[in-house]
Homo-oligomer: A and B are copies of this chain.
Amino acid sequence: MNEHPPMTRIQARNRAVILSGGLDVFSIAGFRGATLDQIADAAGLSKPNLLYYFPSKDAIYAALLEQLLATWLDPLRALDADGDPVTEVLAYARRKLALSRDFPRESRLFATEILAGAPQIHAMLAGPLRDLVNEKALVLQSWMDAGRIRATDPHHLIVSIWALTQHYADFDVQVRAVLGDGDAFAGADHFITDLYRSLLDPAPARRL
């Protein structure tokens, strides 16, 4: 089942530091803007040693994206058709926001890739992502049809959650410049909860 020889401790460690260094650099500079020198510095390894573990700059980038995509859709996948509608949507939005808070570099990596036209992950967007979104949009639609949440466009609802939650990671610099250097995520959590509860709650007794 495992086609590769077992990884030694050194291999595992070095691949990890390289990926972490790569994430640091790629998430700020994008693929083209990043240099192997920067990544090697960030990883604390020499440049040829980098290429001993990964065959090329592309391979590092590809490994990072693969690793990212493996978990990127998890929050949406967890949206449960059998749960309470408002609770489920709010929980999804908060999970997504927590992901941005805990993995801002990954979020920015994703953003740079999308901004560049998604050369590496276009297939995933048009395939698995689209399918998952359509599936969950049906769930949302069924809830709306049953009057359990207010009717609105389910696709745009999902997209709006992405936009809002990722923004706090991706536009971090701007957010901090405007909101100050405190924890923007706590306030964001409140605001986003408030926002989607207002939109979705069919019973307008809104304040908690």
A interface residues, Cβ below 8 angstroms from B = 27-33, 108, 111-112, 114-118, 122, 125-126, 129-130, 133, 150, 152-153, 155-160, 162-164, 166-168, 170-171, 173-175, 177-179, 187-188, 190-192, 194-195, 198-199, 204, 206
A31 to B184 Cα, complex, angstroms: 28
Complex contact A115–B170 (CB within 8 A)? yes
Copies, count: 4
Complex contact A178–B155 (CB within 8 A)? yes
A41 to B195 Cα, complex, angstroms: 46
The minimal Cβ–Cβ distance linking A103 to chain B, given in whole angstroms, is 15
Q: Contacts A30-B30, A32-B29, A178-B130 hold; do A190 and B118 have CB atoms under 8 A apart? A: no
Complex contact A163–B159 (CB within 8 A)? no
Complex contact B33–A30 (CB within 8 A)? yes
A153 to B193 Cα, complex, angstroms: 12
